[in-house]
Amino acid sequence: MLTRPDETTRLLGADEETAPAPAADPLTWTSPTDHGNPKNWTPSRKWTCAMLVSILTLIAPTAASMVVPAMPALARDLGIESKSFLQLTMSAFVLGWTAGPLILGPLSEVFGRATILHVGNVGFIVFNILCGLVRNQYAFLFLRFISGFCGSGPTSLGTGVLSDLWTSEERGISLAIYTVLPLLGPAAGPMVAGYIVQYYEWPYIFYLCSLVSFVVLVPGLVFMPETFGPVILRRRQAEKLRHAGASALSILAAQDAQLHTTKQRIRKGLARPFILLGTQPIIQVLAVYFGFYFGLYQLSIASYQAMWRDQYGMTPVQASANYVSISLGLLVGCQIAGTLNDKIYRALKRRNGDTDLPEYRVWLMIPAAILVPAGLLVFGWAAVAKAHWLLPNVGMATACVGLVMAFLCMQAYVMDSYPVYAASAQGALTVLRALAAFSMPIMGPSVIKAVGYGWFSTLLAAVAVTLGIGAPTVLYWKGAHLRAMSPYAAGQVNLER
């Protein structure tokens, strides 16, 4: 019969949990106050790690959307004639960015968060520069996909890092910052790129992103240590073996065993997101919910400038300025959700006998279910009526407040339900998220052309309210029951059994 593990057991790697660990086992923390445990680090050290990974999450999404104002120039220089193919210049990056967590997240649970984060950042810098150098449309799309994949590192690992550093009732503010920054990137990208393409050639968009990424990479290499408990403990074990004066033969045998174990961990780690998605109803519900909302956000970013150009006759620079409303909506939503999330969690925890439950995160999903469809309806029908430019901006900002609140609550729920394998669980969510983020911006313009902004927004609002009410209802009423039936949730680590 499965029992709820304590903090020490939860930090054991899946491959090590073959028998109850003896008291002196090196794969446990030495005490509840062990300074090697990231949850016992000083607040300044925790916030340094959290801010570094959060800032990195801003860069890749910015690179994704910066091509929107540059699309006419890209079509000219790369010989792109199809509008759908031109939209792939953004969607290819988003596909790589949202698919990356399927591989990078599980690998971080084998090699460590920091290692994968830095390697991915270097890859993003290199391939993003190459995007600015090529003049072949197919090579450009391939490089965009690879740069998006590499740039997904912070998105893949961020929730895992925050889960490593803080307990459930402490991580609300850091999670809010981490959640809003990658959403601010797509909104800020067109504003910056609109200025660049007016005065410079489009390759400078990619050079600028790589330069900023390099500037953040340097302090990251210095101040971002490993945060994943099982990896820290395995490294500590290897260090003890070396200092114990073991013979060369025993060290070689230990290295061979470690290599074999690492191969097993890689294989199991890469399969873990798909196992979670295929077996966990909680993940399945959240994957649909998260996927549609994220695809909706990417569609809004991709089509927003075209709406201002087509309906209001604005220039590219004027149209890009309206992305400020998206940024403001995200910031307001972050401020509301980041402040209330921990307060609600702590209050409900006290009311329920000091018991931790992921369902405390559900309550903020309710206003999100109202704000998203309401904002979409205001935006769509105001655009049809060509109302004052302020009204569509208010509608989009309102929808974005709801979106960021929903995103934050969903990620917090996953982190609370799967604390050890938070990165893998986040990777499982990206399957549908990748499909939605890739397809919705491509199909959206055709549907808008056929039915108009008003009816298209009405359709999206109907789906948004259905998922916005249905998913939290399932999680609230059935979440505890589903976790009780699952060997994977609430910190269980015998996923491979």
Predicted confidence band at 263 (pLDDT cuts at 50, 70, 90)? low
For the chain, what is the mean pLDDT?
Answer: 80
Predicted confidence band at 491 (pLDDT cuts at 50, 70, 90)? very low
Each residue's pLDDT tens digit, 216-243: 889 989 888 898 888 888 888 777 777 7
Q: What pLDDT, on a 0 to 100 scale, did the predictor assign at position 426?
A: 74
Q: Which residue has the higher pLDDT, 253 or 380?
A: 380
| Residue 100 phi, psi dihedral angles, 5° rounding | -55, -40
Q: Which residue has the higher pLDDT, 341 or 393?
A: 393
* % residues pLDDT > 90 (the chain): 23
| pLDDT of 8 strictly over 50 | no
Q: What pLDDT, on a 0 to 100 scale, did the predictor assign at position 86?
A: 85
Q: What pLDDT, on a 0 to 100 scale, did the predictor assign at position 140?
A: 94
Q: Which residue has the higher pLDDT, 62 or 269?
A: 62
d(CA 363, CA 368): 9
d(CA 460, CA 407): 17
| pLDDT of 16 strictly over 50 | no
| pLDDT of 487 strictly over 50 | yes
d(CA 425, CA 429): 7
Q: Which helix (H) or strand (E) holds 26?
A: none
| pLDDT of 41 strictly over 80 | yes
d(CA 274, CA 259): 24
Average pLDDT over residues 108-120: 87
Predicted confidence band at 395 (pLDDT cuts at 50, 70, 90)? very high
Domain boundaries, the chain: 40-229+264-485
| pLDDT of 357 strictly over 80 | yes
Average pLDDT over residues 142-149: 93
The CA-to-CA distance between both ends of the chain, in Å, stands at 14
| pLDDT of 497 strictly over 60 | no
| pLDDT of 385 strictly over 60 | yes
CA distances from 38 to 49, 186, 232, 334 (A): 10, 31, 9, 25
d(CA 476, CA 361): 9
- DSSP characters for 146-182? HHHHHHTHHHHHHHHHHHHH--GGG-HHHHHHHHHHH
Q: How many CB atoms neighbour CB 315 within 10 A?
A: 12
The CATH number given to 40-229+264-485 is 1.20.1250.20
Average pLDDT over residues 396-418: 88
